[in-house]
Amino acid sequence: MTRRYDKRQRAQQGAETRQRIVDATVALHESIGGPSTTVTAIAGRAGVSRLTVYRHFPDERSLLAACTSTYLAANPPPDPGEWAAIGDPQIRLLDALSELYPFYRRNQGLLARADQEMPTNPILAEVLSGYTAAVAAMRDVLDTGWPNSTGDGLLRAAIGHAVAFGTWRSLAVDQGLADDRAADLMLRLVEASSESSFRPARGRAASARNGTG
């Protein structure tokens, strides 16, 4: 009985140590970025030795995978499957952005770091592939059912732009828009791109120069 208890206690302690390492890594990634997050820094923040970090996570991939899965489980992105039941595409998009943009705001620190570091860190890009696929699935759900769509790719491009973290960051952080105003602006952009009468700016400018607009 004592042996079984000791085994359970060791397992619990090991799980708690592992979680401290994950929490320390996430906090450091958000505050100083992945390239500056050394094993020494992780160990110091978690209150363990470097050897303990390596015992739980022998390589970067295993550590980043654990951090990503733990963080997204606690901070899940919106589920695009719930939006698919909304028939009106304008309402569907506005509802989606009304969920997505607050998610971006709550998690902007790590998402900004990830956007910056993924192009030069293939391991990070790999472990975040599930998240990036989820964002792509959002676009697939949102670009159906629009009236008068020209089928020229503008609608899909506009929706892809609307759901991108970089778009939210530009509107909300750089321009200072509230999430609801940013969502409304993107809805207007997508609505314009779906209209059969929409003409590219070059065409309108040429018509104006020729006096035919």
43 domain residue, yes or no = yes
d(CA 202, CA 162): 23
181 within some domain: yes
Q: Is residue 212 in some structural domain?
A: no
pLDDT digit string (tens) for 200-212?
Answer: 555 544 454 555 5
Q: Which has more confidence, 10 or 28?
A: 28
- Asked if 190 and 158 touch (Cβ cutoff 8 Å), the reply is yes
Residue 183 CA to residue 179 CA, distance in Å, equals: 6
**46 within domain boundaries:** yes
- The per-residue b/e assignment along 142-173, b for 16 or more CB within 10 angstroms, e otherwise, is bbeebeebeeeebbbebbbebbbbebbbebbe
Give me the number of domains the chain comprises. Answer: 2
Query: What number is the average pLDDT over the span 147-152?
Result: 71
Range of the domain at 189: 80-201
User: Considering the domain boundaries, does residue 209 fall inside one?
Assistant: no
Name the range with the highest mean pLDDT among 12-16, 145-149, 175-179: 175-179
Question: What CATH number does residue 66 fall under?
Answer: 1.10.357.10
Are residues 112 and 55 part of one domain?
no
Q: What is the pLDDT, as a whole number, of residue 171? A: 97
Residues 184 and 94 in one domain: yes
The single-letter DSSP state of residue 35 is G
Residue 184 lies in a domain: yes
Do 133 and 176 lie in a common domain?
yes
